[in-house]
């Protein structure tokens, strides 16, 4: 699936101080791949997979607001690793995606695996119960370095600041290392959205119920599980930069993994990585907003699109 040709920095210029990787995507971290699939049922829902190389991988989880689900969190907290790719989906698809991930792992009944599955509620736009095991298999089959954004995969039916939401990604280079972030954006009150130089219209009709955001952060820097827990928090701080306040009913959950098995970096060297994750998440939300497309809600009403045509470099 090709990446979208509409991205924030092409329209409005850079976000933050650090340089992005060549794709400005989580797949700038070498070996990381992403795959999307839309639900074959025709519902506005789907599956996204973020696949690290060389599993198991060191990993950790951070939570700002826990009204949401990331399976295997307890094992990640206890052991500091993930054993499967990170799967993303709508809330009511978690069981199906979990089962599909177990099957995809190739493990037998005597070799237990707990897949990592994160969810956001796309019930305003779709019935995520209609996701199938085949949808998960197709997302795995689509794994690659190009990352489509907006209304794709797990993001197909998501809502962000009462505009169409979904998938956003960005990356940063810090010395010899890369930090990449992929977000499943389903959060935010319109009145809190911060877009410099852009006057945003108030919500027409009823606002969407509070959703959530799953932030997946990858790096090739050698970090311990404790350092990764700290890194996993920083994309969630980037959400605050654009207007999230962790509303009641909204879950902000971050998972970070390292593709390196080298000696842990000193804590004194972490600030650049923290800033990179913060900046990448900030830009990833903007990328999601400009890429996502409006669609019809389950109640028959139509979403309004983000006013991409009003974005100018001068607004930055």
Q: Kindly list the catalytic residues.
A: 212, 250, 252
CA distance 34 to 282: 20
The enclosing H or E element of 136 equals helix 133-141
4-23 in b/e form (b: 16+ CB < 10 A) is beebbbebbeebbebebbeb
Cα–chain-centroid distance for residue 120?
A: 10
The total number of residues shown for the chain amounts to: 316
- Scanning the structure block, which residue is given the tokens 């992929």? 182
Task: Give the residues across from 103 on adjacent strands.
Answer: none
With beta carbons less than 8 A apart as the criterion, state whether 147 and 284 touch: no
Adjacency order of strands within the sheet including 177-186: 81-82, 57-66, 251-258, 212-219, 177-186, 166-174
CA distance 117 to 257: 14
The enclosing H or E element of 234 equals helix 225-242
* Three-state SS sequence of 106-126: CCCCCCCCCCEEEEECCCCCC
Burial class (CB in 10 A: 0-12, 13-18, 19+), 36: buried
């Amino acid at each position: 699936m090709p990446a979208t040709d509409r991205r924030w920095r092409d329209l409005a210029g850079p976000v933050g101080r650090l340089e992005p990787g060549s794709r400005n995507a989580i797949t700038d971290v070498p070996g990381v791949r992403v795959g999307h699939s839309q639900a074959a049922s025709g519902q506005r829902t789907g599956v996204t997979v973020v696949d690290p190389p060389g599993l198991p991988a060191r990993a950790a989880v951070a939570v700002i607001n826990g009204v949401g689900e990331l399976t295997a969190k307890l094992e990640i907290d206890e052991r500091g690793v993930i054993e499967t790719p990170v799967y993303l989906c709508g809330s009511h698809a978690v069981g199906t995606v979990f089962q599909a991930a177990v099957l995809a792992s190739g493990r037998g009944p005597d070799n237990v695996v707990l897949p990592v599955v994160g969810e956001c509620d796309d019930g305003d736009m779709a019935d995520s119960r209609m996701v199938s095991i085949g949808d998960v298999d197709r997302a795995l089959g689509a794994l690659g370095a190009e990352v489509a954004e907006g209304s794709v995969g797990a993001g197909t039916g998501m809502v962000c600041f009462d505009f169409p939401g979904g998938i956003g990604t960005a990356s940063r280079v810090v010395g010899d290392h890369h930090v990449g972030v992929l977000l499943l954006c389903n959060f935010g009150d319109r009145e809190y959205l911060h877009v410099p130089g852009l006057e945003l219209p108030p919500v027409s009709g009823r606002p969407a119920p509070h959703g959530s955001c799953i932030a997946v952060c990858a790096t090739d820097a050698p970090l311990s599980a404790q350092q990764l827990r700290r890194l996993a928090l920083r994309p969630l701080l980037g959400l605050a930069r654009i207007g999230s306040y962790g509303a009641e009913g909204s879950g902000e959950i971050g998972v970070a993994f390292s593709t390196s098995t080298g000696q842990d970096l000193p804590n004194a060297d972490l600030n650049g990585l923290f800033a990179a994750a913060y900046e990448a998440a900030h830009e990833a939300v903007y990328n999601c907003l400009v890429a996502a497309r409006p669609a019809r809600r389950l109640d028959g009403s139509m979403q309004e699109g983000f006013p991409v045509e009003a974005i100018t470099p001068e607004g930055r």
